[in-house]
């Protein structure tokens, strides 16, 4: 990101001659000659710069760790580290309305980040309905005033997310207009302005059409995308762009057969777990097999209407599948609207700092899952301790080890040594519940085993079993 901050200012100030000279905030005052007063003044300036920058900037955040993102194959990766990145985000409700825009704030986003492991925000701006960007409906203001207000709300959201080190999606939320081609010229102007304004922001992602529907074909969407993407690329050459797919962004399998010819483009799949089950997961798997990069920019545990019953067992299947492929996902919606999909309990007046009791049933389930699945919560990935290890001396200086199965373990690590403190120990791994160690000496061996589990390309180890001793005689 290339915005000027207090730390940038501190880094470029020079006090020459006999004064304190500051080259950067890490080295602080490099030179002082006149008096201790000047030295103290230098330190005060340095500390003030730290204070003005704000404590959030020094905390480890998704943005500080990964920087700008890019698409490689089916993966979203960090341009800085080259490692795969997974966003667990929350979508606002329509920022056009009072069920959505009051939650566009640094305090609200900080609550989501710090309390519920959310690292990204989606700003959903409807193009039609009341206060729509392209069709204001019954709003009393002029269309230009409506547009100006909505752009201000977007900027508030972008700045808040940026200050907190979070990623942010600017979502052109078509729905009742059905096809993105209906307001294509307005979309072209909008994304020209947005991409020019946020070109230097490493955390801004553009979603150019939310849920094409009403018979809109993939060919229609491609035609629209081929108009909008070059507009964004003219100003922002490498930002990630997300493209909706037919049938309310569910037909990723169709898109995978004829993808767009641009870099750093992903395709969105939306699901609501009480409606969309195995059939739609198969669409996702087919698209991945065809090499399509996917981001779930909207999901819920309710029915597709956003209301009705909840189905958390199906939602868990979805999140397990997404996590196994490290696909990013965003929950609908940050709102206290009286509907099942809202994350806040109906009637909640607080716009940040929510307690668990102020979350809706959907909000409690989803945000609990976020905390459990977050990289910060590695304990949830650690397999249980190995409770039983049986060892048998096999002819030919071998030891056959049988391990009692551990639930959810990917495999087992066996450590063995002739030293009871495991000095100069050997180690082997197996994915099976039995393993034979060969080429042992006629000595006493000490053996211990622990289970491990691989999640999102990381390995988490459980606790070692009790040490088992065996005398190799044959």
What is the set of active-site residues?
A: 211, 298
Q: Do 236 and 170 meet the contact criterion of CB atoms below 8 Å apart?
A: no
Q: Do 65 and 83 meet the contact criterion of CB atoms below 8 Å apart?
A: no
Give the span between the Cα atoms of 329 and 310, in whole angstroms.
Answer: 18
Give the span between the Cα atoms of 442 and 82, in whole angstroms.
Answer: 48
Measured at the CA of 331, the angle between CA 327 and CA 333, to 5 degrees, comes to 160
Cis check for the bond before 333: say yes or no (omega within 30 of 0): yes
Q: Comparing C-alpha atoms, which of 304, 249, 308 is closest to residue 272?
A: 304
Rg (CA), the chain: 27
CA dihedral sign of residues 185, 187, 188, 193: positive
Give the span between the Cα atoms of 474 and 471, in whole angstroms.
Answer: 9
Q: Do 49 and 58 meet the contact criterion of CB atoms below 8 Å apart?
A: no
Residue pointed to by tokens 């030295």: 39
Q: Do 290 and 257 meet the contact criterion of CB atoms below 8 Å apart?
A: yes
Q: How many C-alpha atoms does 296 have within 13 Å on its Cβ side?
A: 31
Q: Comparing C-alpha atoms, which of 7, 108, 128 is closest to residue 58?
A: 7
DSSP character for 176?
A: T
**SS3 label, residue 423:** coil
Residue pointed to by tokens 């940050």: 334
Give the span between the Cα atoms of 99 and 107, in whole angstroms.
Answer: 17
Residue pointed to by tokens 């991409």: 195
- Helix (H) / strand (E) element for 197: namely helix 184-197
Q: Do 362 and 301 meet the contact criterion of CB atoms below 8 Å apart?
A: yes
DSSP states of 381-401 as a string?
GPPPPP--EEEEEETTTEEEE
- Name beta bridge partners: 204: 168
CA 4 to chain centre: 26
């Amino acid at each position: 990101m290339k915005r000027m901050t207090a730390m940038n200012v501190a880094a470029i100030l020079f006090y020459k001659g006999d004064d304190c000279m500051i080259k950067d905030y890490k080295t602080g005052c490099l030179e002082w000659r006149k008096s201790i007063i000047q030295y103290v003044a230098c330190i005060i300036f340095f500390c003030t710069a730290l204070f003005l920058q704000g404590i959030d900037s020094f905390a480890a955040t998704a943005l500080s760790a990964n920087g700008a993102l890019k698409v490689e194959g089916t993966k979203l990766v960090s341009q800085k580290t080259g490692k795969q990145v997974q966003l667990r985000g929350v979508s606002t409700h329509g920022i056009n309305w009072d069920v959505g825009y009051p939650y566009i704030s640094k305090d609200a986003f900080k609550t989501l980040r710090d309390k519920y492991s959310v690292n990204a925000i989606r700003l959903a701006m409807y193009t039609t309905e009341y206060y729509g960007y392209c069709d204001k409906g019954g709003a009393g203001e002029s269309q230009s005033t409506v547009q100006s207000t909505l752009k201000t709300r977007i900027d508030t959201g972008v700045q808040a997310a940026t200050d907190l080190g979070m990623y942010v999606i600017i979502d052109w939320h078509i729905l009742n207009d059905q096809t993105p081609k209906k307001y294509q010229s307005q979309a072209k102007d909008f994304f020209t302005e947005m991409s020019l304004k946020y070109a230097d922001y490493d955390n801004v992602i553009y979603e150019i059409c939310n849920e094409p529907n009403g018979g809109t074909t993939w060919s229609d969407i491609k035609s629209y995308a081929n108009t909008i993407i070059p507009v964004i690329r003219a100003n922002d050459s490498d930002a990630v762009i997300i493209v909706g797919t037919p049938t309310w962004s569910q037909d990723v399998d169709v898109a995978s057969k004829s993808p767009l010819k641009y870099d750093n483009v992903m395709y969105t799949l939306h699901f609501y777990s009480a409606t969309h089950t195995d059939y739609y997961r198969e669409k996702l798997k087919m698209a991945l097999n065809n090499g399509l990069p996917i981001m779930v920019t909207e999901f819920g545990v309710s029915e597709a209407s956003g209301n009705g019953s909840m189905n958390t067992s199906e939602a868990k299947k979805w999140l397990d599948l997404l996590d196994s492929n490290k696909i990013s996902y965003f929950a609908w919606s940050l709102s206290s609207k009286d509907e099942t999909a809202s994350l806040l309990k109906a009637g909640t007046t607080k716009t940040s700092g929510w307690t668990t009791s102020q979350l809706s049933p959907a909000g409690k389930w989803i945000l609990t899952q976020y905390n459990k699945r977050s990289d910060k919560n590695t304990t949830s990935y650690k397999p249980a301790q190995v409770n039983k290890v049986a060892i048998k001396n096999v002819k030919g200086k071998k030891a056959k080890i049988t391990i009692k199965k551990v639930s959810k373990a990917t495999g087992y690590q066996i450590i063995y040594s002739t030293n009871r403190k495991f000095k100069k120990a050997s180690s082997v791994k197996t994915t099976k519940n039995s393993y034979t160690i060969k080429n042992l000496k006629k000595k006493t061996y000490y053996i211990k085993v622990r289970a491990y589990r691989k999640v999102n390309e990381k390995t988490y180890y459980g606790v070692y079993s009790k040490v088992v001793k065996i005398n190799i005689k044959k």
